[in-house]
Chains A and B, each alone.
Chain A
Amino acid sequence: MTALVRPRTLFIGLGLLCLLASWLSLALGPVSLPLFDTLRAALRLLGLPVAGDGLEQAELILGQIRLPRTLLGLAVGGVLALSGVAMQGLFRNPLADPGLVGVSSGAALGAAFAIVAGSALGGVPEALGPYVLSLCAFLGGLGVTALVYRLGRHNGRTHVATMLLAGIALTALSGSAVGLFTYLADDATLRTLTFWNLGSLNGASYARLWPLLLVSAGVAVWLPRRARELNALLLGESEAAHLGIDVERLKRELVFCTALGVGAAVAAAGMIGFVGLVVPHLVRLMAGPDHRVLLPASVLAGASLLLFADLVARLALAPAELPIGIVTAFIGAPFFLYLLLRGRA
């Protein structure tokens, strides 16, 4: 048997895991709240009639800091995992990563540009700062992905192998440009750049959250509608076409969803690696490769994983905070090697 866990069991298990991760993410931090108080305060914030005596502090911390941070983690983790599934389907390779089409490096370039140019121009107005940064990151990701896609097109067809190589080349090019910005940056700017490159859910605010939530919801609704077509795409592009699928349109949608999703995630939380690679893999090990299960299950698994990683980032060196990208890479890279070597055995 390939599928080890029934879809229903998997969804219930991952759903509970996701709830647990959210609960802990709301409760734990520099000021840890009692778990039960957290639950009551969270229910009150959702507008449910729960007695609120003695919960003022909890409600304040939750409403201002922990709830946006948790929502940010859920959205970033979910959309990164979804993008990973989309790219692994597009490249028909279980080791593909959302970064392959250049979206992460493009977003990094956009952000580096915003940080360094902003500081060189004497600083962007305080209130606009996060928006300019996010917007530049988002546009950078979209722009580089569009270029990679364009380079992969020939005679009205998209060649994914060419896209892959173009993605590698443009990632290297963006990397050198980010390096140049880093070289030109002064000390304070350098620190911002570094933190941004390593990713963090710190400083989550509703203002930065809404665009990401909208994009994530859009991608999470759209991709599962293509689940059966993604299954058929794994047979090969011409086989999928023989089954009546408009393969060019499907590839365009996959690239577009990934560019939007990863672009928005990076814009909101910086670069967070390995989630998009590892999560679809883990879910496939548990439930098999059928995208009708894989896509929704990856959303839940990715969201949970990112919240747990964020908990580690928050608590490992408390009260100081680790960038979450360090945590995901620290867990993700050895796991990737394990998958690689396991396949060889």
Chain B
Amino acid sequence: MLRALNLHIRRGHETVLAEIDLQLNPGEVLGVLGPNGAGKSTLLAGLCGEMRPALGEVWLDDRPLTQWNGSERARRLAVLPQVSTLDFAFRVEEVVGMGRLPHQSGRIRDGQIVELALQAADAAHLQGRNYLSLSGGERQRVHLARVLAQLWPGEAGQNLLLDEPTSMLDPLHQHTILQAVREFAGRGAAVLVILHDLNLAARYCDRLLLLAAGRPVALDTPRQVLRPEPLKAVFGLDVLVQSHPERDHPLIIAR
């Protein structure tokens, strides 16, 4: 279980993230929303140990995150950054196979997992292709398959942090990918996902954290967070909130 206790992060002398208390529960998908520069990616960097807290702590299970050794941590915590800068001509399955680095599960098992993770990310048809020949959205799905392979098959105690995994995807894949993430969480892993699309967040997340200027504004169910007042306060956007006619989650329409 990943927990942030009174997490503060500074860049230089500026506090860019403050007063974060957060716990990722097994099986849940927690969405993080907020305007550009609100500290969403900084939160993710703090939660995975890439940036050190100026104050407060991050705990993974029974120990502070800093006390875990690399491979042990990597088997429980996987991170998908916003953009990846791979500039070498690996084949797609080689890229996904890198996710198996912290494991000693053997070549045969790794191969099966790579295949399953690629299927989950709807990228199985890209096998054998040169990574550099893929489009931005295809690359994004390959990297999602890589982090899924890192935790495969997914169980309670594992945590997956995703930074805008749908930013380059077409509308259909935005849904198939978030559906795959939901299924992954359904097997017990905790998922934190940064999103910009309020309606995707409403549909696929169990809880939402609303950030503004590095501080938490709300942390609750989508129905509680996605109301006109907090959205107006955080994004400066006037919205109508209705109920989805078929699925009963909030539907946000800009006025």
Contact = CB atoms under 8 A, between A and B. Distances in A.
Interface string A287-318: 01110000000000000000000000000000
A239 B84 contact: yes
A226 to B, nearest CB: 12
Contacts of B77: 242
Contacts of B150: 243
A245 interface: yes
Contacts of A238: 50, 79, 81
Contact of B50 (A3, A235, A241, A243): A241
A67 to B, nearest CB: 38
A2 B91 contact: yes
A155 to B, nearest CB: 9
Contact-size category for B: 20 to 34
Nearest to B131: A2
A226 B150 CA distance: 19
Most A Cβ at <10 Å: residue of B72, B88, B99, B101: B88
B98 interface: yes
Interface in A226-257: 228-229, 231-232, 234-236, 238-239, 241-246
Contacts of B70: 241, 244-246
B90 interface: yes
A288 B93 CA distance: 13
A194 interface: no
Nearest to A294: B88
Contacts, number: 78
Given A244-B72, A244-B74, A229 B101 contact: yes
A246 B69 CA distance: 9
B78 interface: yes
Given A244-B73, A245-B70, A246-B70, A235 B86 contact: yes
Interface magnitude class on chain A: 20 to 34
B87 interface: yes
A28 to B, nearest CB: 37
A150 to B, nearest CB: 22
A244 B101 contact: yes
Contact of B87 (A94, A243, A244): A94
B102 A243 contact: yes
A242 B78 contact: yes
A284 B87 CA distance: 13
Interface in B147-203: 150
Contacts of B102: 243-244
Interface of A: 1-3, 92-94, 228-229, 231-232, 234-236, 238-239, 241-246, 284, 288-290
24 contacts: A1-B130, A2-B89, A92-B85, A93-B87, A228-B98, A228-B101, A231-B90, A232-B98, A235-B85, A235-B98, A236-B81, A236-B84, A238-B50, A239-B84, A242-B74, A242-B77, A243-B99, A244-B73, A245-B101, A246-B70, A284-B88, A288-B90, A289-B88, A290-B90
